[in-house]
């Protein structure tokens, strides 16, 4: 839930910035579940170049005023602790910033 919350916060805040610059904001989100796998995707319009994925995930990097720049860094930390159960992909493409998270519960060992 924390990762999904961060993704929504980032998309909404980026859209508000875009609108303040005269752009048209738009956020699209979906989730899908099949065979135990759960996929969440969200994307938002962007108005210009975006830093590369590695820079975006560095703690302290932010494009927003009065923000600590910890959102994507926290996401990467959470995913790294569960790397066999989670797949993460994000970055800009064709005027959109795309964020995708897939949970793979079949890779989770059953606890006794």
pLDDT at 112: 40
Higher pLDDT, 53 or 22: 22
Distances (CA, A) of 68 to 9, 31, 43, 64, 71: 13, 28, 22, 9, 8
For residue 103, what pLDDT band results from cuts at 50, 70 and 90? Answer: very high
Tell me what the mean pLDDT of segment 80-104 comes to: 91
CATH fold of 2-107 reads Heat Shock Protein 90 (3.30.565)
Tell me what the mean pLDDT of segment 45-49 comes to: 82
Per-domain boundaries in the chain: 2-107
Which backbone phi and psi does 107 adopt, to 5 degrees?
A: -90, 0
Measured CA angle at 60 (ends 23, 97), to 5 deg: 35
- Calculate the average pLDDT of the chain: 82
The strand pairing partners of 43, in sequence order, are 28, 98
Q: Which DSSP symbol is given to 32? A: E
| pLDDT > 70? residue 2 | yes
């Amino acid at each position: 839930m924390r990762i999904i919350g961060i993704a929504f916060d980032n998309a909404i805040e980026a859209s508000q910035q875009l609108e303040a610059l005269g752009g048209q904001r738009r956020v699209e989100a979906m989730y899908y579940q099949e065979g135990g796998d759960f996929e969440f995707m969200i994307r938002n319009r962007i108005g210009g170049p975006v830093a590369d994925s590695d820079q975006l995930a560095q703690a302290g990097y932010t494009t927003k005023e009065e923000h600590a720049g910890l959102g994507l860094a926290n996401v990467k930390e959470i995913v790294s602790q569960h790397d066999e159960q989670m797949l993460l992909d994000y970055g800009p493409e064709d005027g959109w910033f795309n964020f995708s998270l897939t949970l793979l519960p079949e890779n989770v060992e059953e606890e006794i």
